[in-house]
Amino acid sequence: MPRDEPEWIMTRRRALGERIGDLRTAAGHSQESFAEATGISRRTLQRIEAGEGDPRYSDLLRIATALDKDMVTLMQTSTS
């Protein structure tokens, strides 16, 4: 990661990535097909799901739209 972050931020980032991966899988998408559906590169999607770095707001909007979820639903994680 580009900078040191407090553990609570890294924990929530990982939880968000896991949630996105779970929702993607439940929707029947592979990472490749989901990358195509969202217009996000597969590598960027892999990094988001792994909780690496900060996802761009526009990428989160694309993900929420492709999953037919609003941003609040997308961001709900067990650590929130």
Per-residue pLDDT reduced to its tens digit, 7-50: 999 999 999 999 999 999 999 999 999 999 999 999 999 999 99
Report the topology of domain 7-75: 434 Repressor (Amino-terminal Domain) (1.10.260)
Q: What are phi and psi of 6, to 5 degrees?
A: -60, 150
The domain spans of the chain are 7-75
Q: Is the pTM of this model over 0.85?
A: yes
